[in-house]
Chains A and B, each alone.
Chain A
Amino acid sequence: MKRLIPTLLLPIALMAGDYRLGSGYELLDQLTVGGYVSAEYKKGDRIDELEIDDIAVMAYGELTHSLSYLVEFEAAKYHSWDLKEDTEESNPDFFTERAYLNYKLSNQLEFTAGKFITPGSYWNQVPINVLRDTTSKPRLSQYIFPRLVSGLDIEGYLPGSDTLKYALFAQKNEDIDHGYNNFYTDDHVGAVLTKDFGILEARLWGGRFELEDGTQSGYGGMTLRYEDNGLRILGEAAQSSTDYPDGTSDQTKESVFLQGAKRVARHHTLAARYEYYRDEALRLNENLYILGYNYRPIFPVSLKAEYLLHDDSADSMALFSFSILF
């Protein structure tokens, strides 16, 4: 709690000066600070949980026109109360979620070195609650590929094209902060190709990674995203194949989701998502249907309510969240 209070007071202190919520506070020309907070409540047959999920602070800036940096520290699942079991758990330590330098040589060539979000899946590029249309995240964004890379990324527009972008990335070392990734990998390479059609964007992405215990996975996916006039449609499909150290090979995971979100009135958005997830090793086969409502009194503040309908009705649940970007 000692760490929580100053963190929560930070946005209030920032609001006292010349500051707009959701834009960060520019301390210097080369230093803007900000962050985000989210809290969730989940209620279902198997779960009754209240949680302060994310508390994060970030700093970034442009050192020159070409050179910029960003660091972000986050305490995930900061504090949770299991109301079913009447227990609570605290994870007050902050971990490095992102820390990188970016150097732009031209529109065709820019380098990022450090720990950064894995290029590819569109959902993964803007993963925080406050910027999403739903509290829940699709399985695809959690179980197919590592969310973060500690390594090097090269990306830009393909020469001669205004609409086709590429990204190549590689990690050949341990994670900058071991405590914060969904896969503990020290070897990850991948590539992304993005075509911008204006209101429509298409992506192909794929990669290969090895876990520290020798488990090896290859993955590939595609994204289609449409956005126009308050309507956002995002569809992603991905598959991975994993070889385990015990000799079990070609174990497949596959996932698809299609989400639509429509701003039905100022401040009010309705969202619906269908998801399919299959994990061959776990003999898991899931269909999920999500219907949600998102109220934003201002864009950097989000209050969400949704219902997640699962194949196994015992895993269905209602979710509510409050999140803020400062």
Chain B
Amino acid sequence: MRRIILLLILVSLLPAGEYAVVASADSPIASLDGRFVKDIFLKKRGFYHGTEVIPVNLGAADAIRRVFEDKVLGMAREDINEYWIINHYKGVKPPLVQRSEMGVRAFVSNQKNAVGYLRKSLVDESLKVLYEF
């Protein structure tokens, strides 16, 4: 029994994820599930319960973007590039890009409809965590 309790304590101490999908602290969105985050960043959906949502990506070479694409979008870079080229024909552009996590933090905290992602350690009182990965 003691072992089980110890194991449960250890599991509860493990981080849910090193990174966070965030919105402004003023955002009316409380949380998102992974599928919705994916749909937002693929621009399949642009609203959350009537609130406009603006996705903000990190630059293509950013390591955190790679993790986001792998864990949240579940797509290889090649497939993502193909997806946006097909969407160019459909008249849909990829999300906005900020060059750094600081840029994402500044943009998202000042734009209550924006949703971005960064390391959890960079989340401050201006942001709200919607999803962790």
Contact = CB atoms under 8 A, between A and B. Distances in A.
Asked if A and B bind, the verdict is yes
A107 B46 contact: yes
Given A62-B93, A104-B46, A107-B45, A325 B85 contact: yes
Contacts of A65: 46, 52, 54, 113
Most A CB atoms within 10 A — which of B46, B86, B88, B89?
A: B89
Given A131-B86, A162-B35, A299-B82, A70 B47 contact: no
A128 B47 contact: no
Interface residues of A, number: 29
Interface string A7-25: 0000000000000001110
Nearest to A34: B88
B15 interface: no
Interface residues of B, number: 21
Contacts, number: 53
A66 interface: yes
A126 interface: yes
Contacts of A66: 46, 52
Contact of A23 (B45, B46, B50, B88): B88
Contacts of B82: 299
B107 interface: no
A287 interface: no
Given A65-B52, A65-B54, A299 B93 contact: no
Contacts of B84: 23
A300 B91 contact: no
Given A60-B91, A68-B91, A107-B47, A126 B52 contact: no
Interface of B: 35-36, 39, 45-47, 50, 52, 54, 78, 81-82, 84-86, 88-91, 93, 113
17 contacts: A23-B88, A24-B88, A26-B93, A60-B91, A66-B46, A66-B52, A68-B91, A102-B91, A106-B50, A107-B45, A131-B86, A162-B35, A162-B36, A162-B39, A266-B78, A299-B81, A300-B85
Give the top 8 A-B pairs by smallest Cβ distance, nearest first.
Answer: A60-B91, A70-B91, A22-B85, A107-B45, A65-B52, A107-B47, A106-B47, A24-B88
